[in-house]
Amino acid sequence: MLDLTRKVAFVAGAGSVAEGWGNGRATAVLLARQGAKVFGTDYSEDALTGTTTAMDKEGLGDSWTPYKADMTSNGDVERAVRECLKRYGRIDILVNNIGGSQPGDPVSLTVEQWDGQMERNLKTAFLGCKHVIPVMEKQFEKEGKGGAIVNISSIASTSFQVGGRVHVAYAASKAGVEAFSRATAICYVKKAIRVNSVVVGMMATPLVAARLTQQLGVSDPTALAAKRNALVPMGRMGEAWDVAHATLFLASDEAGYITATKLIVDGGVTATRHNGDVAA
């Protein structure tokens, strides 16, 4: 089940901002556990080093290649894909996992902040697909097998706010990721290239903890975590492994009849929330 032996996965954002398990790190390790060769990018060498350490601890070092790249840069993405092909000769799975939120409404956000959200959250998915899809097309022409693309989105795509903190750019960019995923899926459905989104709810990851602590000026992270846990019907925030397992499923052959859709991983939040009640 969910065997990725002889598959190559390109994971964008495979590091973590701190020790522990971010979505990208957990996904990279899980795909390697299932037999894939994993080529992981991050803009931070330190973040990649942490993932390398995690891989080595599990004896997965031979299945892992770290590569420093800014996934908002067309040139960097092009070079990263070329290096992956040089190393492994193919790409069967693409995971676009770059993202981050910036609070603000249309008036308070600067133009630079708006552009930054679109670059980081939406353009990265576009560039990943732009350079990996031609590889998958060639594989389809040669083998009849294309590949699977998983783009990481957020429940912000249907809008939310917390304590009056609005995130219009983040919401718009994540809605764009889902629309982009559906449209791209239909573009390449005849070439056996599947494209889906994992829609993530409130998460307890190093990136989220660092971001919210800074944005909110929180002095008691434990109290903030308890408050966020209470907003989830299941009683807890999600973990990186929840995202990783959803990603693994959509990337696997067992999901071979699934494309142009989204898998919501949020502990029931979107089914029960009311406007203004939920954070991301």
271, part of any domain: no
1, part of any domain: no
CATH number at residue 181: 3.40.50.720
Kindly report the backbone phi and psi dihedral angles of residue 123, in degrees, each rounded to the nearest multiple of 5, phi listed first. -60, -35
Domain that holds residue 45: 8-203+239-264
Rounded to an integer, what distance in angstroms lies between the CA atom of residue 43 and that of residue 41? 7
Question: Could you tell me the two tokens for 77?
Answer: 């993405």
Rounded to an integer, what distance in angstroms lies between the CA atom of residue 254 and that of residue 30? 16
230, part of any domain: no
Spell out the SS3 assignment of the chain: CCCCCCCEEEEECCCCCCCCCCHHHHHHHHHHHCCCEEEEEECCHHHHHHHHHHHHHCCCHHHEEEEECCCCCHHHHHHHHHHHHHHHCCCCEEEECCCCCCCECCCCCCHHHHHHHHHHHHHHHHHHHHHHHHHHHHHHHHHCCCEEEEEEEEHHHHCCEECCEEEHHHHHHHHHHHHHHHHHHHHCHHHCEEEEEEEECCECCHHHHHHHHHHHCCCCHHHHHHHHHHCCCCCCCECHHHHHHHHHHHHCHHHCCCCCCEEEECCCHHHHCCCCCCCC
280, part of any domain: no
pLDDT at residue 216, as a whole number? 55
Distance of CA 124 to the CA centre of its chain: 10
- 105-126 pLDDT, tens digit each: 999 999 999 999 999 999 999 9
274, part of any domain: no
Task: Kindly state the percentage of the chain with pLDDT values over 90.
Answer: 77
Burial 9-28 (b: 16+ CB within 10 A, else e): bbbbbbbbbeebbbbbbbbb
pLDDT at residue 218, as a whole number? 59
pLDDT at residue 225, as a whole number? 76
- 144-184 pLDDT, tens digit each: 999 999 999 999 898 655 445 688 999 999 999 999 999 99
* The CA-based dihedral angle spanning residues 17, 22, 25, 30, taken in that order and rounded to the nearest 10 degrees: 170
Question: Could you tell me whether strands 93-96 and 165-166 are parallel, antiparallel, or unpaired per DSSP bridges?
Answer: unpaired
Confidence grade of residue 241 (pLDDT, cut at 50, 70, 90): very high
2, part of any domain: no
Domain count for the chain, please give it.
1
Catalytic residue among 67, 88, 170, 188: 170
Asked if residue 103 has pLDDT above 70, the reply is yes
Give Dmax over CA atoms of the chain in angstroms.
Answer: 57
Q: Residue 122: name the closest of 92, 101, 147, 103 by CA.
A: 101
* Span 239-249, average pLDDT: 97
Q: Residue 172: name the closest of 158, 184, 161 by CA.
A: 158
224, part of any domain: no
The answer to whether 38 and 63 have CB atoms below 8 angstroms apart is: yes
Which residues are CB-contacts of 250 (< 8 A; sequence separation ≥ 6)?
148, 150, 194, 196, 198, 258, 263
Is residue 88 flagged as an active site residue?
no
Confidence grade of residue 276 (pLDDT, cut at 50, 70, 90): very low
Task: Kindly state the percentage of the chain with pLDDT values over 70.
Answer: 88
Span of 13-17, 196-200, 208-212 with lowest mean pLDDT: 208-212
Taking the whole predicted model, whether its pTM rises above 0.85 is answered as yes
277, part of any domain: no
The average confidence (pLDDT) of the chain is: 91
